[in-house]
Amino acid sequence: MIELLIFRTGGVEIGRSSFVPGASEAKSFAPVWSALLRTPEGNILFDTGLHPVHIERPDATFGPGSLKVVMAKEDAIVARLASLGLRPDEIAVVVNSHLHFDHAGNNGAFPKATFVVQAEHLGFAKGKPNFPGVYWDIPELSYLPTSGRARVAPGVEVVPTPGHAPGHQSLVVDLAETGRVVLCGDAAFTRENLERGEIRAPDEPTAKESLALIRSLVKDDLDRVFTSHDAASWPRWKHAPDTYR
Ligand SMILES: [Zn+2]
């Protein structure tokens, strides 16, 4: 029996126009989150969230005038896991959707874990300033480069959903009571992306194909997708310690 718990690791002040073409540029809070999967084969973490350096210095990563990070002490992922009774070394596997700083910011906190990332994405992100290596390109970490759909554990599968970045992946989880859910990563920032089939992305045609794939994975039941930075959907979801089963 797999249990899924979702928790906030901070947020960003951002205009909806960064997510949906033609939407408002007015900045508002958008959550950043990670998920814990408790499985019979061990604990799996999906994305590692924002690094706590941003609590004191919101512009620590990209400098003054950059994307504004909003982060409180309790958002630090190690604190979130501790509140669920877990230490970092009890995480067996980390799946990164991709290696942007709000999805891989605490990879360094999990030196005992195996990191599942698409090989294509690892190659793309390495050395690029907008994928700061300080958070993920760390010699002590074990990356398992994958190619295409791959089973992480029974009922847990990574599925490539590129467009936001080459080799971006989502996590598909088959839950006993809830059914199949998709943790989208930035393949879908908001439910609106999936409803409209439109999204801002470096490669928009490919990103639109990924939106269609996500919809097909849940047979168009958008209550079973967890989009990455979705202020409107967030209050409707269960948050840890509440659990999806
Ligand atoms: Zn993101």
How remote is the CA of residue 101 from the centroid of ligand 1, in Å? 8
> Which residues constitute the domain of residue 68?
3-236
Residue 203 domain-assigned (yes or no): yes
> Which pTM was predicted?
0.97
Per-residue pLDDT at 8: 98
227: enclosing H helix or E strand: strand 225-227
Residue 227 domain-assigned (yes or no): yes
Residue 241 domain-assigned (yes or no): no
Other CB atoms within 10 A of residue 46 CB: 27
| Sequence-separated (6 or more) residues with CB below 8 Å from residue 4 | 35, 36, 37, 173, 175, 178, 181, 243, 244, 245
Residue 243 domain-assigned (yes or no): no
How remote is the CA of residue 47 from the centroid of ligand 1, in Å? 10
How remote is the CA of residue 30 from the centroid of ligand 1, in Å? 10
Three-state secondary structure call for residue 5:
strand
Are 189 and 225 a contacting pair, CB within 8 Å? no
Phi and psi based region of residue 231 (left: phi greater than 0; alpha: psi -120 to 50; beta: remaining): alpha
Q: Is omega for the bond preceding 52 within 30 degrees of 0, making it cis? A: no
Number of structural domains found in the chain: 1
Residue 51 domain-assigned (yes or no): yes
Residue 70 domain-assigned (yes or no): yes
- The CATH number of the domain holding residue 55 is 3.60.15.10
How remote is the CA of residue 123 from the centroid of ligand 1, in Å? 19
Give the C-alpha separation, 59 to 71, whole Å: 11
Alpha-carbon distance values, 166 to 76, 80, 150, 206, 235 (Å): 28, 30, 17, 9, 30
Strands ordered across the beta sheet of 150-153: 150-153, 156-160, 169-175, 179-185, 225-227
Residue 23 domain-assigned (yes or no): yes
pLDDT along the chain (245 residues), means of 10: 97 92 91 98 98 95 88 98 98 98 98 98 97 98 98 98 98 98 98 98 98 98 98 98 98
Residue 186 domain-assigned (yes or no): yes
How remote is the CA of residue 151 from the centroid of ligand 1, in Å? 23
Please give the backbone phi and psi of residue 63, each rounded to the nearest 5 degrees, phi first: 90, 175
Alpha-carbon distance values, 81 to 108, 130, 166 (Å): 15, 27, 30
How remote is the CA of residue 194 from the centroid of ligand 1, in Å? 16
